[in-house]
């Protein structure tokens, strides 16, 4: 009976690459990089630097730089923002070379069957699996602030994850809620496509990262590297600890973990985004959307600032760049019995050191594992840590169960 990996984003592909050398029967499902293609805007650039944006494989030759070399492209450093289209092409190249056995099908449901897992595919095929790795990504966890839920008709409000083509809003006024990279980059793309965005941010000001001091981190002065060591999540000791301390992170009290997850990399735009935001469209800082209502096919938003003053803003669409919150209850792919059997904290699965949930044989990776192992699991940079540990645990677990 196979071990199954569901999802073919960076985490699913990395897990599949590592598992395929482990000598266990296996099947991998998903459309490679589908959420990068469908649920992120065209024209977007990655915030992470090339050196921190490779999908992990157990052997050399599959990094982003190897892909670029294979395409005849020159090496790039920290000054190079990766276009999303390049990352998608890299992911598909990784899939074709490293995980060709991927079955391009969606899994319709997973349920518990006498200590095993019963899977149904979109094709209608049903089969049993010994272990299941959930690498289904963040889209199911798109967060819409509860206070805005149900106030305006669904066609007037949407989460950023529902959009690939922001040019469809050309000529429209779009209120963008959020203060992070997704809000700022969506607003920049909207503005550049002829729409009229207004960003509504709870934070007192908008933050942007600092441009790197050199293209290659190794070229930075040694004294600077001692004070602010480089890491996949960025320079500085706290980011260094989160990048390399995933195993220790799991032992912090759950409340501390949740707080760190939301604060270590607070909302901010990439350094290269600043000139596409400042002075280009209104940004209302220290502002909260208090209520929303529909009027004449538009949205009226009551926006309250820190002094308690309310301003009413009219928009043709309300775009929620409000991020993602892990909640196992929202993974409809899992049967209700499986969902309720997974022990959680704050909605996220409690995981062993090997990414196994309280249901033996059911593993979670990627964003669903970030509350357990820390912010690095929100980024492609975490694929190596996750895939190595998870593969070891799956192999040990399957031997143990036999
Ligand atoms: C706008 C935006 C920008 C980002 N920028 C960066 C960045 O610059 N750098 C960075 O490192 N990270 C970035 N991230 C985070 C990035 O999304 C994650 O690092 C990465 O995608 C996580 O990989 P994953 O495999 O867990 O999830 P995903 O990439 O979402 O892949 C999950 C896959 O599972 C598939 N799937 C779901 N359900 C099923 C099913 N039932 N059957 C089969 N397949 C299924 C989906 O189709 C999807 O393709 C960004 C995220 C967003 C939203």
Q: What are the distances in angstroms from CA 98 to CA 48, 102, 357?
A: 23, 10, 27
Q: Cβ(333) to ligand 1 under 6 A?
A: yes
> What is the pLDDT at residue 79?
96
Q: How far apart are the CA of 10 and the centre of ligand 1, in A?
A: 7
> What is the pLDDT at residue 263?
80
> What is the pLDDT at residue 289?
93
Q: What are the distances in angstroms from CA 356 to CA 13, 170, 396?
A: 18, 46, 12
Band of pLDDT at residue 401, cut at 50, 70 and 90: low
SS (HEC) of the chain: CCEEEECCCHHHHHHHHHHCCCCCCEEEECCCCHHHHHCCCCCCECCCCHHHCCCCCCCCCCCHHHHHHHCCCCCCCCCCCCEHHHHHHHHHHHHHHHCCCCECCCEEEEEEECCEEEEEECCCCEEEECEEEECCCCHHHECCCHHHCCCCCHHHEEEHHHCCCHHHHCCCEEEEECCCHHHHHHHHHHHHCCCEEEEECCCCCCCECCCCCCCCHHHCCHHHHHHCCCCCCCCCHHHHHHHHCHHHHCCCCHHHHHHHHHHCCCCCECHHHHHHHCCCCCEECCEEEEEEEEECCEEEEEEEECCCCEEEEEECEEEECCCECCCHHHCCCECHHHHHHCCEECCEECCCCCCECCCCCEEECHHHHHHHHCHHHHCHHHHHHHHHHHHHHHHHHHHHHC
Q: Cβ(137) to ligand 1 under 6 A?
A: yes
Backbone dihedral region for residue 23 (phi beyond 0: left; psi -120 to 50: alpha; all else: beta): left
Q: How far apart are the CA of 268 and the centre of ligand 1, in A?
A: 20
Q: Is the pLDDT of residue 402 over 70?
A: no
Asked if residue 207 lies in contact with residue 271, where contact means CB atoms within 8 angstroms, the answer is no
Q: How far apart are the CA of 34 and the centre of ligand 1, in A?
A: 8
> Tell me: the pLDDT tens digits for 234-273?
888 888 888 898 899 999 998 888 888 888 777 899 999 9
User: What domains can be seen in the chain, in order of their start residue?
Assistant: 3-141+324-401 (3.50.50.60), 146-208+268-320 (3.50.50.60)
> What is the pLDDT at residue 74?
97
Q: Cβ(380) to ligand 1 under 6 A?
A: yes
> What is the pLDDT at residue 399?
65
> Tell me: the pLDDT tens digits for 292-340?
999 989 999 999 999 999 999 999 999 999 999 999 999 999 999 999 9
Short-list 352, 366, 341, 345, CA closest to 397: 352
Q: What atom in ligand 1 is closest to the CA of residue 35?
A: 49
> What is the pLDDT at residue 227?
84
Q: Is the pLDDT of residue 78 over 70?
A: yes
Q: Which of 10, 38, 108 to mutate to test the pocket of ligand 1 (most atoms within 8 A of CB)?
A: 10
Asked if residue 377 lies in contact with residue 2, where contact means CB atoms within 8 angstroms, the answer is no
Q: What are phi and psi of 19, to 5 degrees?
A: -65, -30
Q: What are the distances in angstroms from CA 3 to CA 34, 128, 193, 267?
A: 22, 9, 45, 37
Joined tokens for residue 90: 């890299």
Q: Is the pLDDT of residue 7 over 90?
A: yes
Cβ atoms < 10 Å from Cβ of 1: 15
Any idea which residue has 């959930």 for tokens?
134
Q: Which of the two residues, 214 and 361, has the higher pLDDT score?
A: 361
> What is the pLDDT at residue 157?
94
Short-list 204, 208, 162, 160, CA closest to 186: 160
Q: Cβ(298) to ligand 1 under 6 A?
A: no
- Treating both helix axes as pointing N-terminal to C-terminal, what angle do 84-98 and 10-19 enclose, rounded to 10 degrees? 20
Q: Which of the two residues, 387 and 224, has the higher pLDDT score?
A: 387
Asked if residue 87 lies in contact with residue 44, where contact means CB atoms within 8 angstroms, the answer is no
Q: Cβ(13) to ligand 1 under 6 A?
A: no
Q: What atom in ligand 1 is closest to the CA of residue 41?
A: 1
Short-list 199, 146, 206, CA closest to 175: 199
Positive or negative: CA dihedral 140, 181, 298, 286 = positive
> What is the pLDDT at residue 218?
80
> What is the pLDDT at residue 245?
87
> What is the pLDDT at residue 219?
84
Band of pLDDT at residue 149, cut at 50, 70 and 90: confident
The CA distance from 54 to 13, in Å, is 11
Instruction: Judge if pTM exceeds 0.85.
Output: yes
Q: How far apart are the CA of 224 and the centre of ligand 1, in A?
A: 33
Q: Which residue's CA is minimally distant from atom 52 of ligand 1?
A: 40
Q: How far apart are the CA of 36 and the centre of ligand 1, in A?
A: 6
> What is the pLDDT at residue 191?
98
Q: Cβ(136) to ligand 1 under 6 A?
A: yes
Q: Which of 380, 382, 384 to mutate to test the pocket of ligand 1 (most atoms within 8 A of CB)?
A: 380
Q: Which residue's CA is minimally distant from atom 15 of ligand 1?
A: 379
| pLDDT, average across residues 188-200 | 98
């Amino acid at each position: 009976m196979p071990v199954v990996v569901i999802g073919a984003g960076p985490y699913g592909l990395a897990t599949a690459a590592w598992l395929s050398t482990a000598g266990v029967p296996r099947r991998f499902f998903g459309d490679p990089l589908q959420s990068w293609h469908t649920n992120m805007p065209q024209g977007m650039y990655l915030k992470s630097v090339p050196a921190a944006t490779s999908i992990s494989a157990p052997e050399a030759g599959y990094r982003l730089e190897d892909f670029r070399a294979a395409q005849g492209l020159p090496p790039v450093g920290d000054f190079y923002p990766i276009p999303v289209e390049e990352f998608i092409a890299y992911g598909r190249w990784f899939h074709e070379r490293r995980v060709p056995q991927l079955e391009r099908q969606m899994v319709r449901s997973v349920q518990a069957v006498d200590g095993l897992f019963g899977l149904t595919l979109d094709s209608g095929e049903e089969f049993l699996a010994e272990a299941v790795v959930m690498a289904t990504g963040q889209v199911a966890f798109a967060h819409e602030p509860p206070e805005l839920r149900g106030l305006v008709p669904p066609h007037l409000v949407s989460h950023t994850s529902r959009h690939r083509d922001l040019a469809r809003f050309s000529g429209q006024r779009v209120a963008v809620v959020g203060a992070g990279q997704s809000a700022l980059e969506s607003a920049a793309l909207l503005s550049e496509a002829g729409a009229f965005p207004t960003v509504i941010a709870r934070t007192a000001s908008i933050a942007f990262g600092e441009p790197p001091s050199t293209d290659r981190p190794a070229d930075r002065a040694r004294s600077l590297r001692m004070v602010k060591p480089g890491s996949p999540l960025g320079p500085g000791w706290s980011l260094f600890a989160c990048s390399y301390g995933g195993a220790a992170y799991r032992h912090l009290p759950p409340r501390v973990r949740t707080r760190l997850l939301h604060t270590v990399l607070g909302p901010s735009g990439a350094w290269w985004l600043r000139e596409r935001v400042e002075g280009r469209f209104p940004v209302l800082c220290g502002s909260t959307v208090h209520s929303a209502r529909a009027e004449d096919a538009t949205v009226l938003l009551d926006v309250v600032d820190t002094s308690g003053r309310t301003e009413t803003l009219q928009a043709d669409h309300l775009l929620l760049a409000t991020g993602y919150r892990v909640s196992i209850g929202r993974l409809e792919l899992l049967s209700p019995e499986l969902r309720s059997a997974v022990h959680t904290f704050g909605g996220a699965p409690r995981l062993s050191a090997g990414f196994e949930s309280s249901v033996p044989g059911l593993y979670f990776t990627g964003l669903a594992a970030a509350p357990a192992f820390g912010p690095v699991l929100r980024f492609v940079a975490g694929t190596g840590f996750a895939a190595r540990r998870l593969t070891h645990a799956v192999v040990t677990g399957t031997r143990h169960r036999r």
